[in-house]
Amino acid sequence: MKLSVIASALLATFVAARPEPILQIRQTSVGFDFATTKVRGVNIGGWLVLEPWITPSLWGRWASRPAAGPVDEYNLCRVLGRPVCQAELRRHWNSWILQNDFNIIKSYGLNTVRIPIGYWAFTLNPGDPYVQGQVVYLDRAISWARAAGLKVWIDLHGAPGGQNGFDNSGLRDKIGFLQGNTAAQMLAVIKKVADKYTQPQYRDTVVVIEVLNEPMGPKLDWNKLRQFTYDGWGIVRRGGPTWVAYSDAFLPLTKWNGLLAPSNKALIDKHRYQVFSEGEVSRNYWQQFDSACSARWEFKGSNKYVVVGEWSAAMTDCARWLNGWNRGARYDGTFQSSRAYGSCNDKGDVDRMTEAQRLDLRRFIEAQLDSYETTNGWIFWTYKTEPGNRSDDWSYSKLVSKGIMPNPPTHRRFPKPCG
Protein backbone atom coordinates (compact mmCIF):
# COMPACT_ATOMS: atom_id res chain seq x y z
CA MET A 1 0.00 0.00 0.00
CA LYS A 2 1.39 3.41 -0.89
CA LEU A 3 1.58 5.66 2.12
CA SER A 4 -0.14 8.49 0.26
CA VAL A 5 -3.45 6.66 0.57
CA ILE A 6 -3.12 5.23 4.08
CA ALA A 7 -4.91 8.07 5.82
CA SER A 8 -7.99 7.60 3.64
CA ALA A 9 -7.84 3.83 3.67
CA LEU A 10 -7.38 2.80 7.29
CA LEU A 11 -9.94 0.04 6.89
CA ALA A 12 -8.18 -1.53 3.95
CA THR A 13 -6.59 -4.95 4.23
CA PHE A 14 -2.87 -5.36 4.80
CA VAL A 15 -0.60 -5.67 1.79
CA ALA A 16 3.17 -5.86 1.45
CA ALA A 17 5.09 -2.75 2.44
CA ARG A 18 7.91 -1.12 0.53
CA PRO A 19 11.10 -1.04 2.59
CA GLU A 20 12.33 2.40 1.53
CA PRO A 21 9.32 4.65 0.78
CA ILE A 22 9.54 8.24 -0.37
CA LEU A 23 7.26 10.66 1.46
CA GLN A 24 6.37 14.12 0.28
CA ILE A 25 6.76 15.92 3.60
CA ARG A 26 8.18 19.22 4.73
CA GLN A 27 11.77 18.49 5.76
CA THR A 28 12.08 20.67 8.83
CA SER A 29 13.60 19.47 12.06
CA VAL A 30 12.51 18.64 15.57
CA GLY A 31 14.34 19.79 18.66
CA PHE A 32 16.55 16.74 19.16
CA ASP A 33 19.43 15.20 17.22
CA PHE A 34 19.45 11.46 17.86
CA ALA A 35 22.69 11.05 15.93
CA THR A 36 24.71 13.22 18.29
CA THR A 37 22.77 13.36 21.58
CA LYS A 38 21.98 10.48 23.92
CA VAL A 39 18.42 10.09 25.12
CA ARG A 40 18.51 10.08 28.92
CA GLY A 41 15.12 10.06 30.51
CA VAL A 42 12.37 8.65 32.67
CA ASN A 43 8.95 7.22 31.95
CA ILE A 44 5.95 8.84 33.59
CA GLY A 45 4.37 5.51 34.45
CA GLY A 46 1.11 4.97 36.29
CA TRP A 47 -0.30 8.39 35.41
CA LEU A 48 -2.36 8.44 32.20
CA VAL A 49 -2.32 4.63 31.98
CA LEU A 50 -2.87 2.85 35.29
CA GLU A 51 -0.77 0.00 36.64
CA PRO A 52 -1.84 -1.39 40.05
CA TRP A 53 1.72 -1.94 41.25
CA ILE A 54 2.73 1.70 40.66
CA THR A 55 -0.27 3.25 42.43
CA PRO A 56 -1.92 0.49 44.50
CA SER A 57 -3.87 3.11 46.46
CA LEU A 58 -6.27 3.35 43.51
CA TRP A 59 -7.15 -0.26 44.29
CA GLY A 60 -7.35 0.45 48.04
CA ARG A 61 -10.99 -0.59 48.43
CA TRP A 62 -9.92 -4.13 47.50
CA ALA A 63 -6.73 -4.24 49.60
CA SER A 64 -8.22 -6.64 52.16
CA ARG A 65 -9.82 -8.84 49.50
CA PRO A 66 -7.60 -8.64 46.42
CA ALA A 67 -9.23 -11.64 44.75
CA ALA A 68 -12.38 -9.55 44.34
CA GLY A 69 -10.58 -6.59 42.77
CA PRO A 70 -10.43 -5.55 39.11
CA VAL A 71 -7.12 -6.42 37.50
CA ASP A 72 -6.63 -3.47 35.15
CA GLU A 73 -7.90 -0.04 34.13
CA TYR A 74 -10.55 -1.50 31.84
CA ASN A 75 -12.10 -3.50 34.65
CA LEU A 76 -11.55 -0.78 37.25
CA CYS A 77 -13.79 1.55 35.28
CA ARG A 78 -16.21 -1.26 34.47
CA VAL A 79 -16.64 -2.10 38.15
CA LEU A 80 -16.77 1.49 39.42
CA GLY A 81 -18.90 2.80 36.59
CA ARG A 82 -17.99 5.83 34.52
CA PRO A 83 -19.04 8.64 36.90
CA VAL A 84 -17.08 7.26 39.87
CA CYS A 85 -14.13 6.18 37.72
CA GLN A 86 -14.00 9.60 36.07
CA ALA A 87 -13.95 11.36 39.43
CA GLU A 88 -11.28 9.09 40.90
CA LEU A 89 -9.02 9.27 37.86
CA ARG A 90 -9.35 13.02 37.61
CA ARG A 91 -8.17 13.30 41.21
CA HIS A 92 -5.28 11.00 40.34
CA TRP A 93 -4.33 12.89 37.19
CA ASN A 94 -4.38 16.16 39.13
CA SER A 95 -2.13 14.91 41.92
CA TRP A 96 0.25 12.19 40.72
CA ILE A 97 2.31 14.43 38.42
CA LEU A 98 2.69 18.20 38.85
CA GLN A 99 4.69 20.86 37.05
CA ASN A 100 7.48 20.77 39.60
CA ASP A 101 8.08 17.11 38.80
CA PHE A 102 9.38 18.19 35.40
CA ASN A 103 11.75 20.65 37.06
CA ILE A 104 12.95 17.85 39.33
CA ILE A 105 13.49 15.53 36.36
CA LYS A 106 15.51 18.23 34.63
CA SER A 107 17.59 18.71 37.79
CA TYR A 108 18.61 15.06 37.55
CA GLY A 109 20.47 15.84 34.33
CA LEU A 110 17.88 14.15 32.13
CA ASN A 111 16.59 15.39 28.78
CA THR A 112 13.51 13.28 27.97
CA VAL A 113 10.20 12.14 29.42
CA ARG A 114 8.31 9.26 27.85
CA ILE A 115 4.59 9.59 28.56
CA PRO A 116 2.39 6.49 28.19
CA ILE A 117 -1.20 7.07 27.10
CA GLY A 118 -3.86 4.63 25.92
CA TYR A 119 -5.86 4.61 22.71
CA TRP A 120 -9.00 5.25 24.77
CA ALA A 121 -7.79 8.76 25.59
CA PHE A 122 -8.45 9.63 21.93
CA THR A 123 -11.40 7.43 21.01
CA LEU A 124 -13.77 5.01 22.70
CA ASN A 125 -14.86 1.88 20.88
CA PRO A 126 -18.28 0.28 21.41
CA GLY A 127 -18.42 -1.40 24.81
CA ASP A 128 -15.34 0.32 26.22
CA PRO A 129 -15.80 1.20 29.92
CA TYR A 130 -12.81 3.56 29.93
CA VAL A 131 -13.10 7.23 30.79
CA GLN A 132 -11.45 10.09 28.93
CA GLY A 133 -9.83 13.38 29.83
CA GLN A 134 -6.19 12.31 29.70
CA VAL A 135 -5.34 14.49 26.69
CA VAL A 136 -5.75 17.66 28.76
CA TYR A 137 -3.03 16.37 31.09
CA LEU A 138 -0.81 15.27 28.22
CA ASP A 139 -1.00 18.81 26.86
CA ARG A 140 -0.12 20.19 30.28
CA ALA A 141 2.82 17.83 30.49
CA ILE A 142 4.09 19.01 27.12
CA SER A 143 3.94 22.64 28.24
CA TRP A 144 5.63 21.77 31.54
CA ALA A 145 8.34 19.84 29.70
CA ARG A 146 8.94 22.76 27.37
CA ALA A 147 9.27 25.14 30.32
CA ALA A 148 11.73 22.79 32.02
CA GLY A 149 13.79 22.19 28.88
CA LEU A 150 12.77 18.55 28.44
CA LYS A 151 11.75 16.64 25.32
CA VAL A 152 8.59 14.52 25.15
CA TRP A 153 8.21 11.02 23.72
CA ILE A 154 4.49 10.25 23.33
CA ASP A 155 4.02 6.53 23.90
CA LEU A 156 0.78 4.90 22.74
CA HIS A 157 0.66 2.28 25.47
CA GLY A 158 -2.57 0.40 24.81
CA ALA A 159 -4.31 -0.83 21.64
CA PRO A 160 -7.87 -2.00 20.97
CA GLY A 161 -8.23 -5.64 21.96
CA GLY A 162 -5.04 -5.55 24.02
CA GLN A 163 -1.65 -6.07 22.40
CA ASN A 164 0.20 -8.09 25.04
CA GLY A 165 -2.02 -9.38 27.84
CA PHE A 166 -0.34 -7.15 30.44
CA ASP A 167 -2.27 -4.76 32.68
CA ASN A 168 -0.19 -1.93 31.26
CA SER A 169 -2.12 -2.31 27.99
CA GLY A 170 -5.31 -1.45 29.84
CA LEU A 171 -6.67 -4.98 29.44
CA ARG A 172 -4.95 -7.89 31.16
CA ASP A 173 -4.87 -11.51 29.97
CA LYS A 174 -6.24 -10.76 26.50
CA ILE A 175 -4.43 -10.34 23.19
CA GLY A 176 -6.99 -9.31 20.61
CA PHE A 177 -4.96 -6.74 18.69
CA LEU A 178 -4.60 -7.36 14.92
CA GLN A 179 -7.86 -9.29 14.98
CA GLY A 180 -10.91 -7.91 13.19
CA ASN A 181 -10.57 -4.18 12.59
CA THR A 182 -8.37 -3.43 15.61
CA ALA A 183 -5.36 -2.46 13.48
CA ALA A 184 -7.48 0.03 11.55
CA GLN A 185 -8.85 1.41 14.82
CA MET A 186 -5.33 1.89 16.17
CA LEU A 187 -4.12 3.52 12.96
CA ALA A 188 -7.00 5.97 13.25
CA VAL A 189 -5.79 6.83 16.76
CA ILE A 190 -2.24 7.30 15.49
CA LYS A 191 -3.60 9.69 12.88
CA LYS A 192 -5.38 11.73 15.55
CA VAL A 193 -2.18 11.93 17.56
CA ALA A 194 -0.04 12.76 14.53
CA ASP A 195 -2.46 15.36 13.17
CA LYS A 196 -2.05 17.32 16.39
CA TYR A 197 1.40 16.66 17.79
CA THR A 198 3.45 16.85 14.59
CA GLN A 199 2.34 20.44 14.02
CA PRO A 200 5.01 23.17 14.13
CA GLN A 201 4.01 24.45 17.57
CA TYR A 202 4.93 21.08 19.12
CA ARG A 203 8.12 20.24 17.23
CA ASP A 204 10.48 21.88 19.70
CA THR A 205 9.26 19.53 22.45
CA VAL A 206 7.42 16.48 21.08
CA VAL A 207 10.25 14.72 19.28
CA VAL A 208 8.99 11.11 19.15
CA ILE A 209 5.64 9.39 18.73
CA GLU A 210 5.70 5.67 19.50
CA VAL A 211 3.06 3.83 17.49
CA LEU A 212 2.51 1.07 20.05
CA ASN A 213 4.13 -0.14 23.25
CA GLU A 214 5.16 -3.78 23.61
CA PRO A 215 3.00 -5.73 21.16
CA MET A 216 3.51 -9.40 21.96
CA GLY A 217 5.35 -10.31 18.77
CA PRO A 218 5.72 -14.05 19.44
CA LYS A 219 1.92 -14.35 19.72
CA LEU A 220 0.96 -12.01 16.88
CA ASP A 221 0.99 -12.48 13.11
CA TRP A 222 4.39 -11.14 12.04
CA ASN A 223 3.27 -9.92 8.62
CA LYS A 224 0.33 -8.03 10.11
CA LEU A 225 2.49 -6.56 12.87
CA ARG A 226 5.12 -5.46 10.39
CA GLN A 227 2.51 -3.87 8.15
CA PHE A 228 0.84 -2.10 11.07
CA THR A 229 4.20 -0.72 12.17
CA TYR A 230 4.99 0.49 8.67
CA ASP A 231 1.57 2.08 8.24
CA GLY A 232 1.77 3.79 11.64
CA TRP A 233 5.19 5.15 10.76
CA GLY A 234 3.85 6.52 7.49
CA ILE A 235 0.96 8.30 9.17
CA VAL A 236 3.24 10.08 11.63
CA ARG A 237 5.87 10.96 9.04
CA ARG A 238 3.34 12.50 6.68
CA GLY A 239 2.65 15.02 9.42
CA GLY A 240 6.19 16.37 9.50
CA PRO A 241 9.67 15.69 10.87
CA THR A 242 8.68 14.00 14.14
CA TRP A 243 10.57 10.78 14.76
CA VAL A 244 8.69 7.49 15.00
CA ALA A 245 9.49 4.79 17.54
CA TYR A 246 8.29 1.24 17.37
CA SER A 247 8.73 -1.62 19.82
CA ASP A 248 10.98 -4.59 19.20
CA ALA A 249 7.85 -6.56 20.19
CA PHE A 250 9.93 -9.03 22.24
CA LEU A 251 11.62 -10.18 19.03
CA PRO A 252 15.32 -10.11 18.08
CA LEU A 253 16.36 -6.64 17.00
CA THR A 254 17.76 -8.04 13.78
CA LYS A 255 14.31 -9.26 12.75
CA TRP A 256 13.43 -5.62 12.14
CA ASN A 257 16.47 -4.86 9.97
CA GLY A 258 14.43 -4.96 6.76
CA LEU A 259 11.95 -2.32 7.92
CA LEU A 260 12.86 1.36 7.84
CA ALA A 261 16.14 2.94 8.92
CA PRO A 262 17.46 6.05 10.70
CA SER A 263 17.20 7.93 7.40
CA ASN A 264 13.44 7.35 7.65
CA LYS A 265 13.44 8.98 11.11
CA ALA A 266 12.54 5.66 12.68
CA LEU A 267 14.03 4.20 15.83
CA ILE A 268 13.42 0.98 17.70
CA ASP A 269 12.40 0.81 21.34
CA LYS A 270 14.04 -2.04 23.25
CA HIS A 271 12.82 -2.88 26.76
CA ARG A 272 15.18 -4.74 29.01
CA TYR A 273 14.38 -6.16 32.43
CA GLN A 274 16.06 -8.92 34.44
CA VAL A 275 13.17 -10.13 36.62
CA PHE A 276 10.37 -11.62 34.54
CA SER A 277 11.48 -15.24 34.39
CA GLU A 278 12.55 -17.82 36.94
CA GLY A 279 15.93 -18.03 35.29
CA GLU A 280 16.51 -14.35 35.95
CA VAL A 281 15.27 -14.13 39.55
CA SER A 282 17.25 -17.26 40.46
CA ARG A 283 20.55 -15.49 39.73
CA ASN A 284 22.84 -14.26 42.46
CA TYR A 285 24.03 -10.66 42.51
CA TRP A 286 27.12 -11.17 40.37
CA GLN A 287 25.16 -13.11 37.77
CA GLN A 288 22.70 -10.23 37.52
CA PHE A 289 25.62 -7.81 37.30
CA ASP A 290 27.26 -9.84 34.51
CA SER A 291 23.97 -9.88 32.61
CA ALA A 292 23.81 -6.09 32.83
CA CYS A 293 27.37 -5.84 31.53
CA SER A 294 26.70 -8.20 28.63
CA ALA A 295 23.56 -6.30 27.58
CA ARG A 296 25.60 -4.21 25.16
CA TRP A 297 26.06 -7.25 22.95
CA GLU A 298 22.28 -7.61 22.59
CA PHE A 299 22.22 -4.45 20.49
CA LYS A 300 24.82 -5.60 17.98
CA GLY A 301 23.55 -6.40 14.52
CA SER A 302 20.70 -3.90 14.48
CA ASN A 303 20.83 -1.34 11.69
CA LYS A 304 18.49 0.98 13.59
CA TYR A 305 18.84 3.72 16.09
CA VAL A 306 18.05 1.83 19.31
CA VAL A 307 16.81 3.38 22.55
CA VAL A 308 16.36 1.24 25.67
CA GLY A 309 12.96 2.72 26.38
CA GLU A 310 12.33 0.81 29.61
CA TRP A 311 14.62 -0.69 32.25
CA SER A 312 14.85 -0.68 36.03
CA ALA A 313 17.16 -1.31 38.97
CA ALA A 314 15.20 -4.37 40.10
CA MET A 315 16.86 -7.77 40.48
CA THR A 316 13.73 -9.50 41.79
CA ASP A 317 10.03 -9.31 40.94
CA CYS A 318 9.12 -8.59 44.57
CA ALA A 319 7.39 -5.23 44.02
CA ARG A 320 3.82 -5.73 45.23
CA TRP A 321 1.49 -6.61 42.31
CA LEU A 322 4.31 -6.20 39.77
CA ASN A 323 3.19 -9.37 37.98
CA GLY A 324 -0.43 -8.27 38.13
CA TRP A 325 -3.10 -7.55 40.70
CA ASN A 326 -3.55 -10.47 43.12
CA ARG A 327 -0.45 -12.20 41.76
CA GLY A 328 2.66 -13.00 43.73
CA ALA A 329 6.34 -13.06 42.88
CA ARG A 330 8.55 -15.65 41.23
CA TYR A 331 11.32 -14.83 43.67
CA ASP A 332 9.45 -16.04 46.76
CA GLY A 333 7.49 -18.77 44.98
CA THR A 334 4.06 -17.12 45.23
CA PHE A 335 3.61 -16.59 41.48
CA GLN A 336 1.84 -19.46 39.76
CA SER A 337 3.99 -22.61 39.81
CA SER A 338 7.33 -20.94 40.55
CA ARG A 339 9.70 -22.21 43.23
CA ALA A 340 11.06 -19.96 45.96
CA TYR A 341 14.55 -18.45 45.73
CA GLY A 342 14.32 -16.18 48.76
CA SER A 343 12.07 -13.91 50.77
CA CYS A 344 10.59 -10.69 49.40
CA ASN A 345 10.35 -9.15 52.87
CA ASP A 346 13.68 -7.34 52.60
CA LYS A 347 13.53 -6.50 48.88
CA GLY A 348 12.70 -3.27 47.12
CA ASP A 349 12.95 -1.01 50.19
CA VAL A 350 16.09 1.12 49.97
CA ASP A 351 15.52 2.62 53.42
CA ARG A 352 16.12 -0.82 54.93
CA MET A 353 19.24 -1.55 52.87
CA THR A 354 22.70 -1.60 54.38
CA GLU A 355 25.32 0.70 52.91
CA ALA A 356 26.94 -2.31 51.22
CA GLN A 357 23.62 -3.25 49.60
CA ARG A 358 23.14 0.29 48.35
CA LEU A 359 26.61 0.26 46.83
CA ASP A 360 25.88 -3.07 45.14
CA LEU A 361 22.68 -1.65 43.69
CA ARG A 362 24.50 1.43 42.43
CA ARG A 363 27.14 -0.76 40.78
CA PHE A 364 24.37 -2.75 39.07
CA ILE A 365 22.75 0.47 37.85
CA GLU A 366 26.04 1.85 36.55
CA ALA A 367 26.69 -1.40 34.68
CA GLN A 368 23.33 -1.05 32.97
CA LEU A 369 23.92 2.62 32.19
CA ASP A 370 27.28 1.85 30.61
CA SER A 371 25.66 -0.84 28.45
CA TYR A 372 22.73 1.31 27.40
CA GLU A 373 24.96 4.27 26.61
CA THR A 374 26.30 2.15 23.73
CA THR A 375 22.89 2.69 22.09
CA ASN A 376 21.20 5.98 21.24
CA GLY A 377 20.04 6.29 24.83
CA TRP A 378 17.75 5.03 27.55
CA ILE A 379 14.60 5.83 29.54
CA PHE A 380 14.19 4.42 33.04
CA TRP A 381 10.92 2.87 34.19
CA THR A 382 9.61 4.73 36.11
CA TYR A 383 9.88 8.26 37.53
CA LYS A 384 8.20 7.33 40.83
CA THR A 385 6.09 4.72 42.59
CA GLU A 386 3.95 4.86 45.70
CA PRO A 387 6.11 4.13 48.77
CA GLY A 388 5.82 1.09 50.97
CA ASN A 389 5.24 -1.51 48.27
CA ARG A 390 8.75 -2.94 47.75
CA SER A 391 9.08 -0.91 44.55
CA ASP A 392 11.89 1.56 45.34
CA ASP A 393 14.16 -0.13 42.79
CA TRP A 394 11.66 0.98 40.12
CA SER A 395 11.55 4.62 41.32
CA TYR A 396 14.14 6.91 39.76
CA SER A 397 13.30 9.72 42.18
CA LYS A 398 13.68 7.49 45.24
CA LEU A 399 16.98 6.09 43.99
CA VAL A 400 18.35 9.57 43.37
CA SER A 401 17.25 10.74 46.82
CA LYS A 402 19.29 7.95 48.43
CA GLY A 403 22.40 8.46 46.29
CA ILE A 404 21.92 5.13 44.52
CA MET A 405 21.07 6.48 41.07
CA PRO A 406 23.90 8.60 39.63
CA ASN A 407 23.02 12.29 39.51
CA PRO A 408 23.81 13.37 36.86
CA PRO A 409 23.51 9.99 35.14
CA THR A 410 27.01 10.24 33.68
CA HIS A 411 28.61 10.32 37.13
CA ARG A 412 30.27 7.08 38.23
CA ARG A 413 31.27 5.78 41.64
CA PHE A 414 32.49 2.66 39.83
CA PRO A 415 34.32 3.82 36.71
CA LYS A 416 34.08 1.16 34.02
CA PRO A 417 32.31 -1.34 36.32
CA CYS A 418 32.23 -3.93 33.55
CA GLY A 419 35.95 -3.69 32.94
Which of the 8 DSSP states describes residue 92?
H
**CA–CA separation, 50 and 68 (whole Å):** 18
Active-site pick, 214, 280, 298, 366: 214
Q: Is the peptide bond before 382 cis (omega within 30 degrees of 0)?
A: yes
Q: How far is CA 208 from CA 129, 202, 274, 307, in A?
A: 29, 11, 26, 12
Reported for 244-248, long-range contacts at CB under 8 A and 24+ positions apart, including other chains, are 244/208, 244/209, 244/210, 244/211, 245/153, 245/155, 245/208, 245/209, 245/210, 245/211, 245/269, 245/307, 245/309, 246/210, 246/211, 246/212, 247/210, 247/212, 247/213, 247/214, 247/215, 247/271, 248/217
Question: Strands, DSSP E only, in 31-103?
Answer: 39-43
Please name the amino acid found at residue 191. Answer: K
Catalytic site includes residue 386: no
**CA–CA separation, 25 and 404 (whole Å):** 45
Active-site pick, 73, 210, 298, 310: 310
Backbone angles phi, psi at 116, to 5 degrees: -70, 140
* SS3 labels along 246-306: EECCCCCHHHHCCCCCHHHCEEEEEECCCCCCHHHHCCCHHHHHHHHHHHHHHHCCCCCEE
Catalytic site includes residue 310: yes
Listing DSSP states for 191-223 in one string gives: HHHHHHHTSGGGTTTEEEEES-S---GGGS-HH
**CA–CA separation, 414 and 80 (whole Å):** 49
Choose among 208, 209, 212, 211: nearest CA to 175: 212
Active site residues: 214, 310
